[in-house]
Amino acid sequence: MSETTEAPPRQAAASPPGKRRLPPRDRLTVVAMITVPTLLVVGLVWLPALGSVLLSFTRWNGFGGLDTIEWVGLQNYEDITTIYPPFWPAIQHNLIWLAFLFVLPTILGVVLAVVLDREMRGSRFYQTAFYMPVVLSLALIGFIWQLFYSRDQGLINQVFGTTVDWYGDPDVNLWAVLVATAWRHTGYIMLIYLAGLKGVDASLREAAAMDGASEVRTFFHVIFPVMRPINMIVIVIVVIESLRAFDLVWVINKGRNGLEIIAALVSQNVIGEATRYGFGSALAVIMMLISSVFITLYLRVVFKEERSR
């Protein structure tokens, strides 16, 4: 009698660890979460940006069809840098805006963050009070500071008995606007650094105190270097804020008479009296390129730190 050998039962192939397949409903959700934001970014950011770049090489007043667009090459960029008088003052004013935001609001925001980080009495109230201007639009801030800067009824002229037109005098209106901007920007910087200080390891402070370091020395030599990512974020924010400054100067005098900035020049040429889409797009591209340089440097530093971890 021959014995038959039975083959051992075939075991089901186990799925490799870490590769569990999602159910169809979850896969559909993931696809939707990726596709919808991607389409929105492409449709609302990349396509308009690409359209602005293409229009910057053309001459078009916005009337008629697309067949009325005239290709002019680099003529718009050449005209901007050679025969367009407001351009170089606008560059200068944006640089002044950048330097001012770096110096006064940033330093003041750091000081306020350090003071409020001590959990002093009423710190919640002070945080709210200093951060309150951040939630206001720059246009509203312009109207609020009109109560101080008005030539006839402003608080400053009433107190000091002067008749300075703070918003109208081209010798002082830029600095008046910068002070109003600093009032809003300081609270933003304060909140960012306050969040960074809350995340600093307390053992670093204790080790510095045991070594006999003063609080000032501890901050500059221990705490401040640890917050390097926060510092990079603040740098990028300040650069972007200085370039996209628009609302306040547009409310005051539409970016004229001493308040020329790049964003206001873009609006003047696109939606102002002179409708020049190609010329305005060239100005927008210049502003985009300047901001892209700083954003690229920031991303390079961030990715370098991620790789080093």
For 152-211, how does the pLDDT look when each residue is reduced to its tens digit (9 = 90+)?
888 899 998 888 888 888 888 899 999 999 998 999 999 999 988 888 888 888 888 888
Q: Running DSSP on this structure, what letter comes out for residue 20?
A: P
- Whichever domain contains 176, its CATH number is 1.10.3720.10
**Inside any domain, residue 212:** yes
Q: Does 208 reside within a domain? A: yes
Q: How many domains does the chain have?
A: 1
The tokens describing 84, both together, are 């367009």
Q: Is residue 2 part of a domain?
A: no
Instruction: Determine the Cα–Cα distance for residues 77 and 283; give it in Å rounded to an integer.
Output: 8
Residue 6, domain member (yes or no): no
Residue 66 in this model has a pLDDT that exceeds 90: no
State the burial class of residue 76 (Cβ atoms within 10 Å of its Cβ: 0-12, 13-18, 19+).
buried
Where does the pLDDT of residue 74 fall: very low under 50, low under 70, confident under 90, or very high at 90 and above?
very high
On whether residue 15 sits in a domain, the answer given is no
Percent with pLDDT over 90 in the chain: 28
Map tokens 């940006």 to a residue: 49
Could you report the per-residue pLDDT of 239-296, keeping only the tens digit for each? 888 887 888 888 888 888 888 899 889 988 888 766 788 999 999 999 888 888 877 8
8 A C-beta contact, residue 100 and residue 182:
yes
The residue range of the domain holding 126 is: 75-308
pTM tops 0.75: yes
Residue 40's pLDDT is what? 94
| Average pLDDT across the chain, whole number | 84
Q: Where are the beta strands (DSSP E) in the chain?
A: 58-59, 70-71
Residue 48 forms part of a structural domain: no
Q: Which residues pair with 71 in a beta bridge?
A: 58
Q: Is 37 inside any structural domain?
A: no
**What is the predicted pLDDT for the residue at 41?**
93
Dihedrals phi, psi of 71, to nearest 5 degrees: -75, 125
* pLDDT for res 109: 92
In the block, tokens 């920007």 appear at 185
Give residue-wise pLDDT tens across range 9-54. 555 455 555 567 778 788 888 889 999 999 999 999 899 889 999 9
pLDDT at 1: 45
- Kindly state whether residue 116 falls inside one of the protein's structural domains: yes
